[in-house]
Structure formats: structure tokens, C-alpha cells
Amino acid sequence: MRSSLIESAARRRLLAGGASALAAAGLGRAALAAEQKAAPAAAAPPTPASAAKPLPAYAAWKQPDAMIVHSANTIETRREAFGSGVVTPLRQLYVRNNLPPPDESIVADRDAWVLEIAGVAKPMSLSVGQLKSMGLQTLAMVLQCSGNGRGYFPNKPSGTPWQVGAAGCVIWSGLPVSVLVEHCGGLEAAAVYMTGTGGEKLPDGLDPNMVMVERSVPKEAMRDALLAWELNGEPIPLAHGGPLRLIVPGYTGVNSVKYIKRLAFTEKESPAAIQQTGYRLAPPGQKGNPSQPSVWAMGVKSWINTPNPAASTLKAGRVVVQGVAFGGTNGIKQVEVSIDGGKNWQKAELVGPDLGRYAWRQFALPVELAAGEHVLVSRATDTEGRVQEEERPQNSGGYINSSWRDHAVTVVAKA
């Protein structure tokens, strides 16, 4: 995608706030569970705006009425705030940090931030300014938290009870990782994984491997990966990983490491707990371990944004059902909509621009709703023929919920 798309994106004023001083959100499941309240019932509406928590200082520039503040490090976009555009505005984009953000001083001189590159023929360290002189690419993609949809798990896994708002479609600008690797003489022969290390300040007195944000993904993921310094045409805000973030399109958000300070191509996965035991698809009631699948690529997913189940009035008659769909590592071929809970399906129209295989598509379908209750659901199919799954993958962390049945919305049309 060409940089002209970036130039046409709406630019927002960033009022940078100080970093949160609260305890780390990624110090382990017990700490996280103590911070979060119990997850709501599967179809429960989000907390009313009148009871909302205030935005933390580092994200004070977000649009308050568009956000649900679960904690200082977990901020969700309200379903009704998604609107009908393809690109999510920064002021409405969700926030998820495994550790409190670094001090805002790291974005005072963005070009001075240094990245170490290892596991290549010629290891080196380069500043953001030097990376900018090597090339540029832009990429539209869905950024989605691994736990988006966790709030629909009936067993209420520990962690933030996200519904649909821990996701957005955004445009990144930066240097392709493949260009950097070529500049460094190619990968070492033993390289199997691409491993990114975040630059957050680690709590004193703890084993770094227990708290550091360091994620490994298969080295093949570097094909379209970026080292990004811009988001929707602006320097990446501190809340979203600036001054430099590793972007791994098609993978869940935790794999796109914020404040990246080291990019290594390694023979083994990171020894950090967030890799070895965290973000694993462990069976319900069990702890994560390295033998279980890691939370990496996203699946086919869609959901309906309007009509909104939280709306107080919905008139019977003609209504446009509208939502978003994405395929993880593939584009979207089609979306079907049902107004009777999945018994009968109608093909929706894909609307708006197609920003590439990693971006989401808007879909719309005009329907006639009689007076009464209706269960609306959507089901997407990607370009490889994979169909959105009906049931959630059961796992102890509440990860990767793409179930179309879980994401149904119930509305009441009034005569």
C-alpha cells in the first residue's frame, strides 16, 4: 500500500501524558485476576458511560465517551464507536499493555531510539533515524488483542472481559523487516524464530524473564512485518508503542512488540514467561506450558456493530445490519448475515475500500425486522475458503474467540 493512504488519513492532535505508575498488568495471572472484576455474562452490555473510570494520564487524549476503561492498561473501544469507516481513529483505538508504558521522555527524540539486531550475518545497532533512511512501506491491518471476545466465555477466565472493542483497523508506516535483514547480510543458518524485546522498565527485584515483554513468532512472519514509527499518519503515541514498534500482520497484538529495543532471529523461542507459559492455548483449568500452541495467527472473524443491542429504541421495518470482518493472515471473500440466530443466512455486501489482506472489510445488508426480538449474527469466509467457526476454542486464558455464535447480538424492534 502506498504512503498516499497515510497522507489521506485523518490527523489527530496528541496530548501526551505521563506514564502510569500503577502495578504491572503482566506480572502473572494472579496479579491480573486481582486487578480485574469478574467478567460479565456473555451478552451483557458494557459498563454505562456514567460509571466509567477516568482515562489514565498517558492515554488522556483518547475520546472518553468512545472508550471503556477496564484498568490503567486495558482500555476498550465501545461497539457503537466503531462507526462505518474502515480505519479506526487513534482517539478511539483500544489500549492493552502488559506492563506500564515507559516514561514519556522516550518519545522526546524519537529518531534517537536505538534498535539492536541479532541473529543475522552482521549484527548491529541502528537508530530510528537510520532506519528511516533505509526504506519505507505502509500497511493496513487489524490490530486485535489476543483476548478480544474473552467476555463471552461462560467460565469467565481471568483477565480483561473484552467483548469486541479490543481491536481496530489501522495503518502503519515503517521499514520492512525483510529490508533490514538484507541490510544485515541475511539470517544466521540456525534462525527459526523472530524474537522482539520490548523496552518497558522492569520492576526491581524480579527475574526479568518473569515480567519482560519478549515474544517469538515463526521467522516466516517477517515476510510482511514492519518496524513502524507512524500510526495512521502520526508518530506512534506512547500508548501504542512509540517511538518504534514491531508489527506482525495477521498475528494477535501481543506479538507486535511495543517500544522494541531488540530484534533477534533465534533458534529457540524466548525464555520469557510471556512466551513459555503465557499466551498458550491451555485446556480449561490448566496452566500454560511450552507444549501447548502459542497464541500467534488470528482466525477468520466478524461481528455486527449496528444495530447496537445497547440502543434504547429500534423501529421495526427496514434496517441496515453493518459490521466488520477479517481473515487474520488472509483477505475476506464474503460475509453472511442471519437475523434468526443462524438458521437462515443471506449474503451481505462488502462496502468501502479494500485496504489489503490484513485489513478488515466493512459489510452491510438491508433487512426487514418485524416487531419483536431478533438474534443477529454474521459469518465470514476468507479467500482460502476458511469459514468463521461457530463455537469458541475452549482454553483457560479466553484467547482467540472468533465464534460467530458468541458474537451474536440480540435486538428488540418496536412497532
Per-residue pLDDT of the chain (415 residues; tens, 9 = 90+): 433 333 333 333 222 333 332 233 333 333 333 333 333 333 444 444 446 799 999 999 999 999 999 999 999 999 999 989 999 999 999 999 999 999 999 999 999 999 999 999 999 999 999 999 999 999 999 999 999 999 999 989 999 999 999 999 999 999 999 999 999 999 999 999 999 999 999 999 999 999 999 999 999 999 999 999 999 999 999 999 999 999 999 999 999 999 999 999 999 999 999 999 999 999 999 999 999 999 999 999 999 999 988 877 799 999 999 999 999 999 999 999 999 999 999 999 999 999 999 999 999 999 999 999 999 999 999 999 999 999 999 999 999 999 999 999 999 999 9
For residue 51, the model assigns a pLDDT of 61
Q: State how beta strands 137-144 and 214-218 pair.
A: unpaired
**Cα–Cα distance, 348 to 327 (Å, whole number):** 16
**Cα–Cα distance, 384 to 376 (Å, whole number):** 25
**Cα–Cα distance, 174 to 225 (Å, whole number):** 9
**Cα–Cα distance, 403 to 283 (Å, whole number):** 17
Best CA proximity match to 337, nearest among 298, 388, 371: 388
For residue 298, the model assigns a pLDDT of 98
pTM of the full predicted structure? 0.87
**Cα–Cα distance, 221 to 243 (Å, whole number):** 22
Q: Which residue has the cell 472468533?
A: 402
Contact 25, 61 (CB under 8 A): no
Cβ partners under 8 Å of residue 50, min gap 6:
none
Contact 244, 223 (CB under 8 A): no
Best CA proximity match to 63, nearest among 179, 202, 200, 168: 168
Residue 333 grid cell: 471473500
Residue 177 grid cell: 523487516
For residue 50, the model assigns a pLDDT of 45
* CA-to-CA dists, residue 2 to 7, 88, 173, 227, angstroms: 10, 18, 10, 16
**Cα–Cα distance, 237 to 75 (Å, whole number):** 15
Q: CB-based burial of residue 82 (10 Å sphere; 0-12 exposed, 13-18 middle, 19+ buried)?
A: buried
Cβ partners under 8 Å of residue 321, min gap 6:
304, 306, 307, 337, 339, 348, 364, 365, 366, 367, 376, 378
Residue 87 grid cell: 480505519
Best CA proximity match to 390, nearest among 373, 368, 406, 414: 406
The residue ranges of DSSP E strands in 207-326, in sequence order, are 214-218, 226-231, 234-235, 245-247, 260-266, 301-306, 317-326
* CA-to-CA dists, residue 396 to 57, 283, 316, angstroms: 32, 6, 40
